[in-house]
Structure 1
C-alpha cells in the first residue's frame, strides 16, 4: 500500500546525548518508516549535536544558540518541519522517550481509523514496564456517548489533552491553532497547546502505541520539583488568563485541581522554602506579565525565526 500520510518526528534535545542516540535509533527502525526526523538541539554542551551529525547524518538537525526549553524547542522544531518537510502528522517527543518498534504505526492506524482526530498520544511506560504516572491519560471530562463509543470501538480513549512525551498531531491543526507558546519554557506547554488544538476537535489515547519514558525516577509531576515549581505556577496563571484552549467552566475545574496539587506538592516537599518562593514568584509574574509572542521570542534565532513567523501568520489568517 502506498504511504499517503507523511509522518515527521520532532525530537527536542538538551544534554542527554546517550538517551538521544537511543531515541534516534528507535525512530530510525520503526516498522512504519518515518518520512523525516527533525532534532532540535537546545544549545547542548555535551556533544549531542556532534553525535547526531556523526551517527545519523540523514537526520535534519536544527541547532539553536540558546536553550529555549521544551516549549521553545517544540515550537521551533514544528515550525521547521512544517516549512521544510511538508508533514501530514508531526510526532513530538522528548530526548528521553524511546518508542517501541510499532509505536508510529499504531498511532497512524488509530488516527486514520477515526476521522476528525487531531491529536493522539501513546501509552507511556517506565523502564520496568509499569505505566509512568507522569504521563497517565485521563478520559475527556463530560465526553459524549458517541465520542466515547467511537473511541472504544477503535481501542482508544477520548482525551482532552496530551503530552509531548509522545504526541501525534495533525499538521493542518497546527497551522490553524498555532505553535506551542515558547515563553512557557517548561511545564504546562503541552497542556496549553493540546487543549488549544482540541478545543474544537478530537483527541485520543492509543494504548497499542507504547513508548518508554526513561526518567531517572518513577514519579508523577507531584514529585519534588525544586526551582522549576516557579514555571508550573507562572505558566498555569498565564494559561488561565490568556490561553484560548480552555472554556470558562474548564478553567474553573482545572484551576481548582491545580491549587489542590500545589498544596499537596508543597506539603510533601523536602524543600518547602524553595517551593513557597516559587509559588510567590510564579503568582506575581503570572499576574503582572503575559507570555511574549513566538515571533518576538525567536527574533534572535535566525535559523528558525522565519519558519516560526510563517506558521503564526497563517494561524492569524485562519
Structure 2
C-alpha cells in the first residue's frame, strides 16, 4: 500500500542538506538495500553523502552497491566489515565513519526502509531547535507505526501507554532512541561517544537515546519520513503492535540488560529492585511474543531467554566493564 502524501515543508535556510549523511546498515539483504538506495536517489533535497555499512554479507551486496553508485546522485561511501557485528556494531561503525567524514547531521537507518522524497526537508525543518530528532514511519502496509519513545529509567523498559498523538507543537520529548531513523548532530555525538557495539542487537539505541536526553531535549516529531519495505509477522493491538522475533533476539534482549545496568549505574539512575522488575517484565513480554505472535513456546526459545538472563547477571557484575567514552575534540 502506498503511504499517503504529506504537504511539503519549507527547509530552513540554516539547514544545509549537503551537511547530512545517511547511514544504512545492511546484512545479506541486497534486494531491500536496492530499494533503500533507489529511494535516496529520488529525494529532493538529497543528503551530501550516503554511507553503507555491510556487516560481512555473503550475497551480492557489494555488486549491488557499485551498480547503484552512479544513479544515486550523491557521494556513496561503502564500508564492508570483516565480521558480522550485528546492528549495534554496524551503527557504531556507521556513526564513526560519518563523523570522521565531517558530517554535521547523521541520519541512521536499516536497509528495510525507503526514505520518502521530502524526508530530509522534513527533518531539516526541526534542526534550528533540536539536535536529536526522530521522524515517524509508515509500516509495510502504509499504516502509521507507533514507536515507544518514552522509557522508564528505573525499570529500564519502554512505557507502552505513552501518548501516540501529537498536540499543536508537533513533537513529543523522548528519552530513548531508535536507530531506524535517528537524526543526530555531530556535536551531540562528540559528547556521547559512539554507540556501544557490545550490544550486538537490541537496547543499543535505547541507551544511546537515554544518554542524549541527559544532555538536552530530544524529540520525536510528527513528520512521516520513512516507510518499511519488509513485512513482519505481528500481533495487532490497535495503535500498538508486537512483532515476531527470533531466538537470537531473545537471547540479546535479556543478555543486554547487563550492559544497560552499567550505563544506568554510571549516571546514577540504577535502581536494583526496580530494574529487576523491568527485567522480569521483559522476560514475560518475550513469552507473550512467543505465544501470541509466533504461536509457539519452544525449548530453544525458552532456553535462550534463560541463557540471556544468566549472562546479563554476570555482565552486570563485571567490575572491569567500562561504558563508551566521549569522542576526542
TM-score (norm 2): 0.77
Which of 29, 32, 37 is equivalent to 2:45? 32
Counterpart CA distance in 1 for 2:268 and 2:35 is 40
Please state whether the residue corresponding to 1:65 is helix, strand or coil: coil
| SS of structure 1 residue aligned to 2:92 | helix
From 166, 182, 189, give the equivalent of 1:167. 182
Tell me how far 1:243 sits from its aligned partner. Answer: 4.6
Moved more, 55-64 or 211-220: 211-220
Deviation at 1:141, TM superposition (A): 6.8
Instruction: Give the match for residue 279 of structure 1.
Output: 305
**Number of the residue aligned with 1:91:** 107
Tell me the residue number matched to 1:63.
80
Query: How has the CA–CA distance of structure 1 residues 252 and 109 changed in structure 2, closer, same or farther, with 3 Å as cutoff?
Result: farther
Q: How far did residue 293 of structure 1 move?
A: 6.8
Q: TM-score, normalised by structure 1?
A: 0.80
Question: Structure 1 residues 288 and 249 mapped into 2: Cα distance closer, same or farther (>3 Å)?
Answer: closer
For structure 1, the residue ranges without an aligned partner over 5 or more in a row are: 143-150, 295-311
Deviations 1:179-234 (A, max 9, x none): 11101111111111111122221111122133112233253455343232010001
**Is 1:8 the equivalent of 2:21?**
yes
Check 1:174–1:252 CA distance in 2 against 1; reply closer, same or farther (3 A cut).
farther
- Decide whether aligned partners of structure 1 residues 126 and 316 sit closer, same or farther in structure 2, where only a CA change above 3 A counts: closer
Find the aligned partners of 1:174 and 1:187 in 2 and give their Cα distance: 20
Shift of 1:288: 1.8
Secondary structure at the counterpart of residue 101 of structure 1: coil
Which string of whole-angstrom CA distances, capped at 9 and with x for unpartnered residues, describes residues 116-175 of structure 1? x23111112212111235xx2435779xxxxxxxx9554111111121111101111111
CA contact (8 A) 2:190 2:328 kept: no
Q: How does 1:16-27 map to 2 (within 5 A)?
A: 16-27=29-40
Q: 2:192 aligns with which of 170, 174, 177?
A: 177
User: Shift of the alpha carbon at 1:106?
Assistant: 0.8
Q: Name 1:306's counterpart in structure 2.
A: none
Residues 46-74 of structure 1 deviation map (CA, whole Å, 9 limit, x = unaligned): 11121101211541101111111110111
Structure 2: 5+ residue runs without aligned partners?
1-12, 154-165, 235-240, 291-295
Contact kept, 8 Å, 2:26 with 2:33, in 1: the verdict is yes
Contact 1:106 1:208 in 2 (8 A): yes
The 8 Å contact of residues 229 and 278 in structure 1, kept in 2 or not, is answered as yes
Deviations 1:92-112 (A, max 9, x none): 000012111111111111232
Task: Tell me how large the CA RMSD over aligned residues is.
Answer: 2.9
* C-alpha displacement of 1:317: 5.4
Count matched residues: 287
Structure 1 pair 170–245 and aligned structure 2 pair: CA distance change class (3 A): farther
Shift of 1:267: 4.0
Partner of 1:72: 89
Comparing 66-75 with 236-245, greater Cα deviation is found at 236-245
